[in-house]
Amino acid sequence: NWTAPMDELGAVSWLLGYGFIGLTGLAVVEKFIPLFPSYVLLMLLGMTVADPQNLIATIAATTLGSTIGACCWFGIGRTLGGERVARKVSQYGRFVFLSPQLYDRLTNAYRRNHFWVTVTGQTIPTARVYLALPAGILGLDFKIFGVATLLGSMLWNAPFLCLGYVLRTSDYDPFQAAFWAAVGLVGVEMSILAIVTICKRRMSGSPSRQRLPVKQE
């Protein structure tokens, strides 16, 4: 069904027509409706940039939008509270790629330094969308959260936007370059997920082997 992708591309084009405000709005929407993997979307946006000055403006607009979107999730968590959010995640989380297990891991992450957990979380796919939810529930300092989110969003957005800009200005065919770059980025993400999954399984299996009873003679 090609209708949905074309509709999404049409929505992106419509928002881009509003310049800085449209880019900011697109980054906010991306926090709630994943039109594409965020790194692919950012790379494609980078390919629409005409010059370095506009590239800086695009980085600023998307960073601001990502921060606003995260603050909205923060507000949702603060308003609903832990029990209601946990119940909603259990019921509907699978439809938005937020399993109860992932939600628990995001919540437990805040047992460490809140600032750097927030900064790092904005550079991890999926976590960068939903990490603000437990932050709101736990009632973290909103100013610190906002600054950390702004910094983390810039660290995530800027490289992919610059990659798109470089591809656009290179001697290669921009469409083919974008396609293979997107394939490469998805491949890297899938490889990292596979490695993390394998490591977790090995770590969870090793203690059980250590606890095997010793046969008494």
The model carries a pTM of: 0.77
Q: Using CA atoms, how far apart are residues 146 and 66, in angstroms rounded to an integer?
A: 11
Instruction: Tokens for 115, please give them.
Output: 């600032």
* DSSP assignment string, 178-214: HHHHHHHHHHHHHHHHHHHHHHHHHHHHHHHHHTPPP
- pLDDT tens, the chain, 217 aa long: 434 444 555 566 667 777 888 889 989 988 888 666 788 888 888 888 888 889 999 999 999 999 999 999 999 999 999 899 999 999 988 887 888 888 888 888 887 778 999 998 898 888 888 999 999 999 999 999 999 999 999 999 999 999 888 888 776 666 666 666 666 766 665 665 566 567 656 666 655 444 444 444 4
Per-residue confidence (pLDDT) for residue 63, from 0 to 100: 95
Per-residue confidence (pLDDT) for residue 69, from 0 to 100: 94
CA angle 75, 95, 111 (to 5 degrees): 45
Per-residue confidence (pLDDT) for residue 201, from 0 to 100: 66
Placement of tokens 């997920």 in the chain: 193
Per-residue confidence (pLDDT) for residue 135, from 0 to 100: 93
Q: Between the CA of residue 14 and those of 17, 120, 126, what are the distances in Å?
A: 5, 32, 25
Per-residue confidence (pLDDT) for residue 146, from 0 to 100: 95
Per-residue confidence (pLDDT) for residue 107, from 0 to 100: 87
- At 30 the three-state DSSP class reads helix
Q: Using CA atoms, how far apart are residues 56 and 53, in angstroms rounded to an integer?
A: 5
